[in-house]
Amino acid sequence: MTTYFPNVDKIQYEGKLTANPFAFRHYNADEIVMGKSMKEHLRFAVAYWHTMTQDGSDPFGNPTNIRTWEAETPMATAKNRVEAFFEILTKLGVEYFCFHDIDIAPEGDSLEEFFANIDEITDLIKEKMDETGIKLLWNTANMFSDPRFNNGAASSNNAEVFAYAAAQVKKGLDISKKLGGQNYVFWGGREGYESLLNTDMKFEQDNIARLFKMAIAYGEKIGHKPQFLIEPKPKEPSKHQYDFDAATTMAFIQKYGLEGDFKLNLEANHATLAGHTFEHELNVARCYDALGSIDANQGDTLLGWDTDEFPTNIYDTTLAMYEILENGGIAPGGINFDSKVRRSSFEMDDLLLAHIAGMDTFARGLKAAAALKEDRFFDELKEKRYATYQEGIGAKIVADKEDLETLTDYALQHDDVKLESSHLEMVKSRLNDYLV
Ligand SMILES: [Mn+2]
């Protein structure tokens, strides 16, 4: 059997003192944290697009990545990629993966040829899944790269584009059923507008909801209902994307009555592009019981675009994992590395090193978040901060027993309000103790 990573065996946990770069220093799959194994908490997934098809090119430079799976024809390359991908998953001990339709199979010269290529490649993927026990976290249709999606997919001004997108979604659900996909994602990169001068925003959003309802109906028809997820992003490639952030997307989901079928797939770098922290977006989703899955990566605060870097910031992963613990876990979603190696990390083995870094960073985040939860660090802070609602007038307010008149009577007799300091600097300093 061909191996694409001949120098690396299965990655093992060796503890933080190891000098072996091909070892986990913090991620110990079977270690129990708060009653569950780390792998059950984290449900890691590898993203086909960044890991298998990203070539290291940028708007100013040619591809840099050395990829030994490149072959004579696009189909031969696609088949090699399946082999290499499952070698990566197996060596990392990652049990889930995600892909867009165009990542796995060449588009060919027609939609019919594209679908035939998808059928052939998903047969291979299914064999590998059966052989290894690795599962499909989610798949999606790429409805943004081809020039036909210039003006959107479901939100396009051209009905033939809508039909084409619908065909891709149908195929996506067919292969989700074939591979036992647990979730199905919609990311509307081109679902937005360039100028309101020629855009009917309401019409376009109605059409996006139409496509989503068709997806729900088709899932019911074929007896396969993955958790549907919408992935918010504020901009890039569109100037203004309709699924701007978690709150905007929840308004959309509620407006069109999609709450029973749709949750959110939240990405760290999309959160920061929207001017939020990642934990803010996760918390918003939790407020609506709509935290579905996450795309793990990080942006660069010095850059205004979506850099999709592997997560290495333990502060961020700790606060993200805290939200996930508060959510009671992320299943049937997972932690998908929507992350790409930097242009200068062009060797094959960098793909493994980058995932090891990301997995270790999330493992550290999990451990720190579990300690925060076990110590009731945030619970005690918040209990104290909202204590005035536990008794007296506060308890009556939250029991809905007061009104503007009764509260006016109360305030007239209690107008000497005393506040307590938040001591926020001390809180942040104590939080640091959990990270190191
Ligand atoms: Mn991104």
Residue 3 lies inside a defined structural domain of this protein? no
**Distance in Å, CA 309 to ligand 1 centroid:** 9
**Distance in Å, CA 54 to ligand 1 centroid:** 13
Say whether both 321 and 407 belong to one domain.
Answer: no
Residues 274-309 as b/e (b if ≥16 CB within 10 A, e otherwise) read: bebebbbbbbbbbebebbbbbbbbbbeeeeeebbbb
Say whether both 18 and 145 belong to one domain.
Answer: yes
Average pLDDT in the 24-35 region? 98
Say whether both 56 and 140 belong to one domain.
Answer: yes
Confidence category of residue 2, pLDDT binned at 50, 70, 90: confident
**Distance in Å, CA 300 to ligand 1 centroid:** 11
User: How far, rounded to the nearest angstrom, does the alpha carbon of residue 6 sit from its chain's CA centroid?
Assistant: 31
Say whether both 362 and 402 belong to one domain.
Answer: no
**Among residues 262, 294, 269, which one has the least CA distance to residue 366?**
294
Per-residue pLDDT tens over the stretch 124-141? 999 999 999 999 999 999
Q: List active site positions.
A: 100, 103
Say whether both 162 and 81 belong to one domain.
Answer: yes
Say whether both 256 and 367 belong to one domain.
Answer: yes
Please answer whether residues 359 and 335 qualify as being in contact, where contact means their C-beta atoms are separated by less than 8 angstroms. Answer: no
Residue 6 lies inside a defined structural domain of this protein? no
Please answer whether residues 228 and 260 qualify as being in contact, where contact means their C-beta atoms are separated by less than 8 angstroms. Answer: no
What pLDDT does 436 receive? 82
Q: How far apart are CA 38 and CA 27, in angstroms?
A: 7
Q: How far apart are CA 99 and CA 49, in angstroms?
A: 6
For the chain, the three-class secondary structure string (H helix, E strand, C coil) is: CCCCCCCCCCCEECCCCCCCCCEECCCCCCCEECCEEHHHHHCEEEEHHHHHHCCCCECCECCCCCCCCCCCCHHHHHHHHHHHHHHHHHHHCCCEEEEEHHHHCCCCCCHHHHHHHHHHHHHHHHHHHHHHCCEEEEEECCCCCCHHHCCCCCCCCCHHHHHHHHHHHHHHHHHHHHHCCCEEEECCCCCEECCHHHCCHHHHHHHHHHHHHHHHHHHHHHCCCCEEEECCCCCCCCCEECCCCHHHHHHHHHHCCCCCCEEEEEEHHHHHHCCCCHHHHHHHHHHCCCEEEEEECECCCCCCCCCCECCCCHHHHHHHHHHHHHCCCCCCCCEEECCCCCCCCCCHHHHHHHHHHHHHHHHHHHHHHHHHHHCCHHHHHHHHHCHHHCCHHHHHHHCCCCCHHHHHHHHHHCCCCCCCCCCHHHHHHHHHHHHC
Final residue of a structural domain among 321, 352, 374: 374
Say whether both 366 and 385 belong to one domain.
Answer: no
**Burial class, 98, CB count within 10 angstroms (exposed 0-12 / middle 13-18 / buried 19+):** buried
Say whether both 326 and 390 belong to one domain.
Answer: no
- If you average pLDDT over every residue of the chain, what do you get? 97
Per-residue pLDDT tens over the stretch 315-349? 999 999 999 999 999 999 999 999 999 999 999 99
Residue 168 lies inside a defined structural domain of this protein? yes
Tokens of 366: 């999990």
Please answer whether residues 203 and 210 qualify as being in contact, where contact means their C-beta atoms are separated by less than 8 angstroms. Answer: no
Residue 344 lies inside a defined structural domain of this protein? yes
**Distance in Å, CA 378 to ligand 1 centroid:** 29
Domain that holds residue 406: 378-435
User: How far, rounded to the nearest angstrom, does the alpha carbon of residue 295 sit from its chain's CA centroid?
Assistant: 2
The CATH number of whichever domain residue 352 belongs to comes to: 3.20.20.150
**Distance in Å, CA 374 to ligand 1 centroid:** 32
Average pLDDT in the 149-157 region? 98
**Distance in Å, CA 305 to ligand 1 centroid:** 9
Entry pTM: 0.97
Q: How many domains does the chain have?
A: 2
Does the pLDDT of residue 208 top 90, yes or no? Answer: yes
User: How far, rounded to the nearest angstrom, does the alpha carbon of residue 173 sit from its chain's CA centroid?
Assistant: 19
**Burial class, 103, CB count within 10 angstroms (exposed 0-12 / middle 13-18 / buried 19+):** buried
Per-residue pLDDT tens over the stretch 70-124? 999 999 999 999 999 999 999 999 999 999 999 999 999 999 999 999 999 999 9
